[in-house]
Chains A and B, each alone.
Chain A
Amino acid sequence: MGCWSRNRGRLLCMLLLTFMFMVLEMVVSQVTSSLAMLSDSFHMLSDVLALVVALVAERFAQRTHATQKNTFGWIRAEVMGALVNAIFLTGLCFAILLEAIERFIEPHEMQQPLMVLAVGVAGLVVNVLGLCLFHHHSGFGNNSGHGHSHGGHGHTKGVRSKSSRPGDSDHRSPGGQRPDQEETNTLVAGSSNSNGLKLGGTDPEKPRTNATDVQMNGNVIRESDNTDLEDEADDAQKAGQLNMRGVFLHVFGDALGSVIVVVNALVFYFYWDSCPEGRFCENPCIVDPCKALVEIINSTQGTVFEAGPCWVLYLDPTLCIVMVCILLYTTYPLLKESALILLQTVPKQIDIRNLIKELRNVEGVEEVHELHVWQLAGSRIIATAHIKCEDPTSYMQVAKTIKDVFHNHGIHATTIQPEFASVGSKSSVVPCELACRTQCALKQCCGTRPQAYSEKDTEKAPTVSISCLELSENLEKPRTQAENMPAVVIDMKKMPNKQPESSL
C-alpha cells in the first residue's frame, strides 16, 4: 500500500462505499417498488462513474515521465478528468432539473416515508464520510492551487545552501535576493561560477576540466533534498488537485441530494395525511378526472377524506431546483479553470506583460518574440521564447539572466532560442530569423501578423515575400563554423516591409 498515493486510496475507498450503497438502494427499491429510490440509485451510479473517471485520471497522471506517445508524460490527464467530471455534473444537474419540472407538473406522493428516511440517512452518512475524505481538496479553503509557493521554498533552500557552502563563488548575490544564482548552471565560458558544488559539502568543487561550461543542475546541493521530499509530495498533491476538486464536487452534490431526501421524508412523515386504506378519498393536489364524481359522492355520503396539504408535494421539486442552482454555482469555477488550462492560456498567476517587460530590459536582449507561456498541469508551467540578441559571445550571460527572470515568475521549464540580429536592423519589429519556410507560415502555431487576420480564416497569413530559409542562409553563410568570432553579417534584406512578429 505504500506505493499508492493517498488520493488513490481515498478514491478507492469512496468508490467501494458508493458502489455498495448503490446496490443496497437498488435492492430496497425493488422490495418497496419505489421508483424514487431506483432513480436515486442511478444517481449513485453516476457518482460511481465519476469516481472511476477520477481514479483513471489519477492513475494516468502519476506517470509524469516522457513516453513514446506523449513527450510530456500523462500528467495532463488529471485536468481532463476534472473537466469530464465537471461536465458530467452539469449533465446530471440538467437531468435533475428535468425531473423536478416533471414533478411540478405531476406531483408524486411519497410512499413509505419511513423507509425512504432510513435509506436517506444512510446515504447521508456515506456522503458525509466522503466529504471528510476529500474536504481538503474542496477548493473553498485556502488551497492556492497551482501556487507560486515554490518561491518560498526555493529561495530558502538557496539561502541554506549558500551558507553551508565553502565560499568559492564570485557571484554571491547580496541579501539573498537571488540566492539561486549560485546554483545556476553557468553557460558563461570560463566563469568561476561555483556550481560545482556537491553533496553535503564533501567535495567543495567539482573537478573541472578546461571547460567550466558544463555544469549540471544535478550538482546542486544534496542537503536541500530533505526539504525537497516534502515539496515533492506537496507538488504531486497540487498537481492532482483539480481532479480531486471534481470528485469533491460530485460527493458534495450527492450529499445535498441526500439532505433533500431526508428533509423531504421527514416533512412527509409528519405533515402529510395520506389517504387511508379502503376509504374513499381524493387528492386535491393532483388533477383528477374523477373530481366530478367526487362532488356527487360528497353530496350523498358523509365525509370524504382529503389527502394532506398540497405544499408538501411541491417541496421536493423546489428543493431539487435549489440544489441544482448550488451545484451549478460551485461547478462553474472548476469547469472554467480546467477549460482554461486545456486552452493553453497563460496561467493566472503569471503577469505576462510584466514578464515581457523584464525580458526586454535584460541587457543584450533586443527583442522577444514567439513567447508562449502555458500550464501543463498543477504547478508545471512551460515557456518558449525566441530572443533576439545582439552579440553571440555574450549570449551565455544573457541566457542565464533570462532564465533567472523566468524563474522569478515561477516558470521553470523553458526553451529559449537565441537569434542574432543582423546588422542594420534597427526596428524592433523584425520577423523571426529562423522561421520555417514561407509557405509554412500557415502551419506555424501562431502566424506572423496579429492585425491582418480576417474573421473567418485565421490560418491565412499574409505571405512573406522571400523565403525565410533564404534569409537565414544569407545570415549564416559568413559565419564559419570553426570560429567563434562575433558575427557581423551584412544582411541582404529583401523584405520591403517589416511585419510585426511579436504576438503580444
Chain B
Amino acid sequence: MGRYSGRSFRLVFMCVVSILLFVMELAVAHIGNSLSLASDAFAVLSHLLSMVIGLFSLRASTISHHRKSTFGFLRADVVGAFGNSIFAVALMFSILVEAIKRYINPQKTEEALLVLLAGIVGLFFNVLNYVILDCCYCSAGRPLEDPGTAAHCDSLNIQHEPEETMRKEKKSEALNIRGVLLHVMGDALGSVVVVITATIFYVLPLGQDDDCNWQCYIDPSLTIVMVIIILSSAFPLIKETAIILLQMVPKGVNVEELMSKLAAVPDISSVHELHIWELISGKIIATLHIKYQKDRGYQDASLKIREIFHRAGIHSVTIQFEAVDSPESLEQKDTLSLCSSPCISKSCAKHLCCPPRALPVAHVNGCAEHNGSPRLDMYQSQGRGRPELSDVAIEVSLDGRGSDHGQTFTKTQGDQCYVNSTHF
C-alpha cells in the first residue's frame, strides 16, 4: 500500500486523469462547437501544468546531494509552491478580466442542460482531486523520527524536539501540496459557479431574443467572488514561501536575543557577519565570524556558541574565528568590528554578500543609501592618526570597556540599519 499512497504516485495519477479529461473535452468542444468547453479544457490544462510543477518539485526535493547544488534540491518544494501560487494568481487575473468583459458585455448561457452536466462532471473531478491529494495525505501520518536518540544525548529540552521536527516537516511538505491544491480549489470553485449559473438558466430559461436580465450578471459576480477567495488563500502561501526564498530570518528566531546571548559568552570580543537563514522550513543555517583574543583560545567559546544556537533551533552553524592578538589592540575599537579575514582585497568588497554600509563610493553617486560620510567624518574628528577605514562594519555597541567614540557611534548610527556586527 505504501507504493500507492505516496504523494508522487497520487500526483502522477491525477496528472494522467487530467490529460484524459483535457483530450476528451477538447474533442467534444470541437465536435459540438462549444466555446465554454474549450475554455474549460484549458483550465484543466493549466491545472495539469500546476500538478506537473508540483510533481517535479516533489521529486527534486528528495535529492539532497547533487553535483550542481551543494544543498541538493531540497528547496524545490518551496520554489515549486511559489511558482504554483504565482501561476494561480496570473490565471485568476485573466479570469477576472473575462468576468469584467462579461459585465460590460453580458451573455446568456445557452444549452443550460449541457453546461450543467459539464459543470457537474468538472466538479466531481475536482472534488476527487482534492480528496486524493489532501485528505489521504492528512491521515497518513509521518513516521516518528528516531525517538531513540533522544535518550542518548544531553539534557537540554530534547523531549520536545521529535514532535517539533514532525510538525515542521509536515508544514514544509504541505507547502508544495498547498500550491497544487490552490489550483484545484480554483477549478472546483469555478465548477460550482458554472453549476449554479446553469441551474438558474435551466430553471428560468431566457429565450433567444430576450435581453439579458439580472441572470446574466450572476456568472461574473460569482466569478469575482471566486477570484477573491482564491487570492486570499494564495497570498499567505506566497508570503510564506517568499520568507524562505528571500533568505529572511525565519520566524521563530529572534536575532537580538541571540546576539545578547552571544555577548554573554566569555572570551569572545565581537561578532560580525552573522547570517541566519532557512533552507527549507525546519532547516535553519547560520554563519558568523567571531573575534577572539588570541591567547585565550576559542574552543570553549565555540562549544557555548553552538549550544546557544542549538537552543534557538539552529543546528547547522559555521563559525569563523578570527584572532585578535592582544588586549591592547582592543583599543582600536573599529578594528574589532571589522572582519580581519574577508576576501583578500578590497576590490572584492562589492562582491561580498552584504557589504558594510560605509563605503566611500557612495559619495560619488550622491546617494545616501550606502552612507559612508558621517562615519568617516567621525573618524577624522577623532584624530587618532589611525588609518582611515573604508570598510567599516556597521553598528557598534559597546560594553563598559568602550570609549566615548563608541557611544557616539551608536547614537548617530542608531537609526541606520541594523547591527550586523556587535562588539562586546
Contacts and interface: CB of A to CB of B under 8 A. Distances in A.
Given A90-B87, A91-B90, A418-B321, A206 B346 contact: no
B70 A467 contact: no
A258 interface: no
Contact of A436 (B148, B316, B323): B316
B153 A469 contact: yes
Contact of B389 (A74, A216, A440, A447): A216
Interface string A100-128: 01100110000000000000000000000
Nearest to B142: A457
Contact of A185 (B100, B104, B341, B392): B341
A219 B389 contact: yes
Contacts of B396: none
A198 B388 contact: yes
A385 B287 CA distance: 10
A101 B33 CA distance: 12
Contacts of A228: 346-347, 349-350, 361
B95 to A, nearest CB: 9
A460 B97 contact: no
Q: Which of A71, A88, A231 has the most CB of B within 10 A?
A: A71
Interface string A61-72: 011111111111
Q: Which 7 A-B pairs have the closest CB atoms?
A: A211-B325, A91-B90, A220-B346, A218-B389, A412-B343, A412-B348, A180-B345
Contact of B346 (A224, A413, A463): A224
Given A72-B275, A92-B90, 20 more contacts: A3-B368, A64-B354, A70-B249, A71-B354, A83-B83, A90-B90, A91-B86, A94-B46, A153-B347, A185-B342, A218-B390, A343-B69, A380-B353, A386-B318, A403-B344, A413-B342, A436-B315, A439-B149, A453-B64, A459-B145
B93 interface: yes
Interface residues of B, number: 147
Contacts of A274: none
B314 to A, nearest CB: 9
Given A413-B343, A456-B62, A442 B145 contact: yes
B150 interface: yes
A484 B295 contact: yes
Given A66-B420, A417-B319, A106 B35 contact: yes
Contacts of A45: 97
Contacts of A105: 29-30, 33, 35, 38
Contacts of B417: 63, 65-67
Contacts of B246: 70, 74, 76-77, 80
Contacts of A466: 152
Nearest to A239: B350
B68 A345 contact: yes
Interface in B39-93: 39, 42, 45-46, 49, 61-65, 67-76, 78-79, 82-83, 86-87, 90-91, 93
Contact of A463 (B87, B146, B339): B146
A184 to B, nearest CB: 4
Interface string B136-168: 000000010110111011100010011001000
A468 B274 CA distance: 24
B63 to A, nearest CB: 8
B354 A458 contact: no
Q: How large is the interface on A (under 10, 10 to 19, 20 to 34, 35 or more residues)?
A: 35 or more
Contacts of A472: 303
24 contacts: A63-B369, A65-B370, A65-B394, A105-B38, A198-B388, A210-B329, A218-B389, A222-B388, A228-B347, A233-B365, A343-B75, A344-B279, A370-B316, A376-B353, A412-B351, A434-B302, A436-B310, A436-B315, A439-B146, A439-B152, A446-B64, A476-B300, A479-B297, A481-B299
A406 B341 CA distance: 12
Contacts of B82: 83, 342
B104 A38 contact: yes
A241 interface: no
B83 A87 contact: yes
B341 A198 contact: no
A207 B420 CA distance: 28
A456 B6 contact: yes
Contact of B72 (A84, A199, A446): A446
A433 B122 CA distance: 57
Contacts of A417: 318-320
A330 interface: no
B364 interface: yes
Given A407-B344, A413-B352, A415-B320, A445 B83 contact: no
Interface string A31-69: 000010011001001100100000000000011111111
A463 B351 contact: no
Contact of B360 (A225, A231, A460): A225
Contacts of B248: 69-70
A463 B97 contact: no
Given A157-B347, A372-B71, A415-B318, A187 B325 contact: no
Given A68-B256, A72-B277, A440-B315, A342 B79 contact: yes
Contacts of B287: 384, 415
A375 to B, nearest CB: 10
A129 B380 CA distance: 48
B249 A35 contact: no
A403 B340 CA distance: 12
A373 B318 CA distance: 13
A459 B169 contact: yes
Nearest to B359: A232
B294 A213 contact: yes
A39 B33 contact: no
A358 interface: no
A481 B296 contact: yes
Nearest to B75: A343
Nearest to A220: B346
Contacts of B390: 218, 220, 222, 225
Interface in A386-421: 386, 396, 399-400, 403-404, 406-407, 410, 412-418
A466 B248 CA distance: 33
A255 B238 CA distance: 30
Nearest to A150: B351
A63 B378 CA distance: 24
Contacts of A77: 246
Interface string B11-51: 00000000000000000011001010011001001100100
Contact of A479 (B299, B347, B351, B370): B299
Contact of A235 (B30, B277, B350): B350
Contact of B70 (A87, A438, A503): A503
Which residue of B38, B65, B101, B274 has the most chain A CB atoms within 10 A of its CB atom? B65
B389 A463 contact: no
Interface in A82-99: 83-84, 87-88, 90-92, 94-95, 97-98
Contacts of A20: none
A38 B101 contact: yes
A103 B67 CA distance: 47
B214 interface: no
